[in-house]
């Protein structure tokens, strides 16, 4: 299926690894030129080389801490003409209300919550002015699962889901679509870190992290590529009536008895 994306310019945050890198690679496979944003320049350069070797598209990078004040403005100044924005950067730590300090909570939200909000504010204004554009927010299934041992992430993700739905409900008046996806447990380095935190809380031993993954759909976590392909399809003209919704990619677990 031709997704009619060839030639589009896509900016992906948190794009040096995991879901972000998979999303950028999947867009590149459709003929899109991509901009990769993340904190670590060396990791970005490796991602840039990987995508260039596989796909004949433009790949630009911008090493930047999105949690820092003024970062959204710097990104827009460097890349003002973006067709598709994918907000993906974020690393809210695991832990319950007693384990997550106020400082850690605020620092995590600066990246995952306010980072999304600030970039949406900047790019929506430009998309609205030219009457075209798509914003995709990669949030997280904890938004709907209300996980006590991931309390800061659950609360932040739930807020981003509400934000995405509110944005996408009215953005269509300006021919701009805003949607989100909620990935489940996905096979990334981030998954292992969170699983180790849960294992420490549940068993007193972070090395038992694999036990926290038991009972997953299909007996495995999702792959970054599975999440990426959903994002790319929904961002494409093939899904041009999709806005103001957040897709739970849960392997059917919400419907289990």
Q: Does position 23 have pLDDT exceeding 90, yes or no? A: yes
Residue 92's pLDDT band, with cuts at 50, 70 and 90, is confident
Shared-domain flag, residues 90 and 167? yes
Nearest CA among 124, 225, 217 for reference residue 177: 124
Residue 128's pLDDT band, with cuts at 50, 70 and 90, is very high
Q: Name the more confident of 222 and 216.
A: 222
pLDDT (0 to 100) of residue 218: 84
pLDDT tens track for 148-198: 988 999 999 999 999 999 999 999 999 999 999 999 888 787 778 878 887
Is residue 114 in a domain? yes
Shared-domain flag, residues 35 and 105? yes
Shared-domain flag, residues 37 and 124? yes
pLDDT (0 to 100) of residue 256: 65
Shared-domain flag, residues 18 and 60? yes
Is residue 116 in a domain? yes
Q: Does position 257 have pLDDT exceeding 60, yes or no? A: no
pLDDT (0 to 100) of residue 56: 92
pLDDT (0 to 100) of residue 153: 92
Cα 158 to Cα 115: distance, rounded to the nearest angstrom = 15
Bridging pattern class, strands 9-13 and 84-87: parallel
Domain that holds residue 212: 190-221
Total structural domains in the chain?
A: 2
Q: What is the mean pLDDT of residues 40-56?
A: 96
H helical segments located in the chain: 18-29, 41-54, 71-78, 102-112, 114-130, 142-145, 151-171, 189-203, 224-235
Shared-domain flag, residues 155 and 208? no
Q: Are 220 and 191 in contact (CB under 8 A)?
A: no
Shared-domain flag, residues 197 and 121? no
Is residue 118 in a domain? yes
Shared-domain flag, residues 117 and 204? no
Residue with token string 């495995």: 220
Shared-domain flag, residues 124 and 241? yes
Residues 6 or more apart whose CB falls under 8 angstroms from that of 7 comprise 31, 32, 33
Residues 6 or more apart whose CB falls under 8 angstroms from that of 27 comprise 5, 8, 10, 12, 34, 84, 232, 235
Q: Name the more confident of 251 and 22.
A: 22
Is residue 252 in a domain? no
Shared-domain flag, residues 240 and 212? no
Give me the CATH number covering residue 23. 3.40.50.720
Shared-domain flag, residues 213 and 90? no
pLDDT (0 to 100) of residue 2: 92
Is residue 254 in a domain? no
Shared-domain flag, residues 144 and 208? no
Is residue 32 in a domain? yes
Shared-domain flag, residues 58 and 82? yes
The neighbouring-strand residues paired with 36 are: 12, 61
Is residue 209 in a domain? yes
pLDDT (0 to 100) of residue 94: 83
Q: Name the more confident of 43 and 189.
A: 43
Write down the mean pLDDT value for the chain: 93
Q: Does position 76 have pLDDT exceeding 60, yes or no? A: yes
Q: Name the more confident of 168 and 96.
A: 168
What is the value of pTM for the model shown? 0.91
Q: Are 80 and 125 in contact (CB under 8 A)?
A: no
Is residue 253 in a domain? no
Q: Does position 219 have pLDDT exceeding 80, yes or no? A: no
């Amino acid at each position: 299926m031709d997704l009619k994306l060839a030639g589009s310019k896509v900016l992906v945050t948190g794009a040096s690894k995991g879901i972000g890198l998979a999303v950028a690679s999947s867009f590149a496979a459709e003929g899109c030129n991509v901009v990769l944003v993340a904190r670590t320049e060396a990791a970005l350069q490796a991602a840039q080389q990987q995508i260039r070797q596989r796909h004949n598209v433009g790949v630009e990078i911008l090493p930047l801490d999105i949690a820092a004040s003024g970062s959204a403005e710097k990104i827009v100044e460097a890349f003002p003409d973006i067709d598709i924005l994918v907000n993906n950067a974020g690393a809210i730590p695991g832990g319950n209300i007693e384990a997550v300090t106020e400082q850690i909570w605020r620092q995590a939200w600066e990246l995952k919550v306010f980072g999304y909000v600030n970039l949406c504010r900047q790019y929506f204004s430009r998309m609205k002015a030219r009457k075209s554009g798509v914003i995709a927010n990669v949030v997280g299934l904890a938004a709907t699962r209300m996980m006590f041992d991931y309390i800061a992430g659950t609360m932040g993700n739930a807020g981003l889901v509400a934000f995405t739905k509110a944005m996408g409900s009215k953005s269509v008046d300006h021919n701009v679509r805003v949607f989100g996806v909620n990935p489940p447990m996905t096979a990334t380095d981030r998954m292992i870190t969170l699983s180790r935190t849960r294992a420490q809380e549940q068993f007193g031993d972070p090395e038992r992290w694999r036990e926290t993954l038991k009972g997953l759909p299909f007996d495995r976590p999702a792959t970054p590529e599975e999440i990426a392909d959903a994002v790319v399809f929904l961002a494409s003209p093939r899904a041009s009536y999709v806005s103001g919704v957040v897709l739970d990619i849960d392997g059917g677990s919400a419907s289990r008895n």
